[in-house]
Amino acid sequence: MTVHIGAAPGDIAETVLMPGDPYRAKWAAETFLEDPELVNEVRGMLGFTGTWRGNRVTIQGSGMGMPSLSIYANELISDYNARTLIRIGSCGGMQSHVKVRDVIIAMSATTITSPSSGFFREINFAPTADYELLAAAVAAAKNRGTPTHVGGIYSSDVFYAERPDLDEQMVRHGILGVEMEAAELYTLAARHGRRALAVLTVSDHLQTGEALPSEDREKTFGDMVEIALEAAFT
Ligand code: HPA
């Protein structure tokens, strides 16, 4: 048990998928895992462990934003020895060729500030995905025929942004989409020598204002979960 995770030692698998939404953790575990068991419900941040094609997997909610993700990822790494951490979540599309429902596999994650910025101080650290996981996810997406983009994303620390000029700079620099967690996950994985990746579904688009209708979400999010699982066990 840790401060925020009630699981017993050994209840968490070495491979952890991390959606922001705890109910999406429940849905993904019940949909894709065999014999999923609830291993955490502290603060309602549900976590489940089961198996996928015979491999043990935990799906643990991270909450929204880097400070929340940082708490769960730190405890999963340091107290439960998680070795592969894959964020599965939604993002806002930032380029015209990126469409709602497409998948983004994040090679790098740009930030203004993250929970790690305080001690990096003058360093602009470049949070980067694990290459093996990235290559395996790209291959899995290609096999499935899922429209997929691979490149940089922006991990913002606000959903309701007051600086549209920042989004414009991200667009100018080819950033594919915006979310709120991946940069800290990549940073923590680098610090502790673990593997991390973010596989994201474009749920809305900053330029067109289009948003994924709720009835489409399950099928679209399902592709992302299966890409993440295939990447983890390739
Ligand atoms: N901004 C930040 N995070 C997001 C967005 C967004 O537009 N869409 C989904 N996650």
Decide: pTM greater than 0.95: yes
| Mutate-to-test residue for ligand 1 from 94, 179, 217, highest number of ligand atoms within 8 A of CB | 179
Instruction: Give catalytic residue positions.
Output: 204
Q: Which atom of ligand 1 is nearest to the CA of 161?
A: 1
Query: Of 16, 176, 21, 156, whose CA–CA distance to 85 is shortest?
Result: 16
Report the pLDDT value the prediction gives residue 213, as an integer from 0 to 100: 84
How far, in Å, is the centroid of ligand 1 from the Cα of 86? 18
Q: Which atom of ligand 1 is nearest to the CA of 180?
A: 3
Report the pLDDT value the prediction gives residue 215, as an integer from 0 to 100: 76
Percent of the chain with pLDDT over 90: 95
Report the pLDDT value the prediction gives residue 217, as an integer from 0 to 100: 78
Strand stretches in 74-188, DSSP E: 84-93, 103-110, 148-155, 177-179
Report the pLDDT value the prediction gives residue 133, as an integer from 0 to 100: 98
> Is 214 or 110 the better-scoring residue by pLDDT?
110
- Read off the pLDDT band of 105 (50, 70, 90): very high
**Domain edges within the chain:** 15-232
pLDDT, tens digit, for every residue of 6-32?
999 999 999 999 999 999 999 999 999
Report the pLDDT value the prediction gives residue 216, as an integer from 0 to 100: 78
pLDDT, tens digit, for every residue of 144-199?
999 999 999 999 999 999 999 999 999 999 999 999 999 999 999 999 999 999 99
Residue 181 CA to residue 183 CA, distance in Å, equals: 6
pLDDT, tens digit, for every residue of 26-58?
999 999 999 999 999 999 999 999 999 999 999
Do 48 and 90 meet the contact criterion of CB atoms below 8 Å apart?
no
User: Does 178 sit in the ligand 1 pocket, CB within 6 Å?
Assistant: yes
Q: Which CATH fold would you assign to the domain 15-232?
A: Rossmann fold (3.40.50)
The residues with which 153 forms a beta bridge, in sequence order, are 109
Residue 234 CA to residue 107 CA, distance in Å, equals: 18
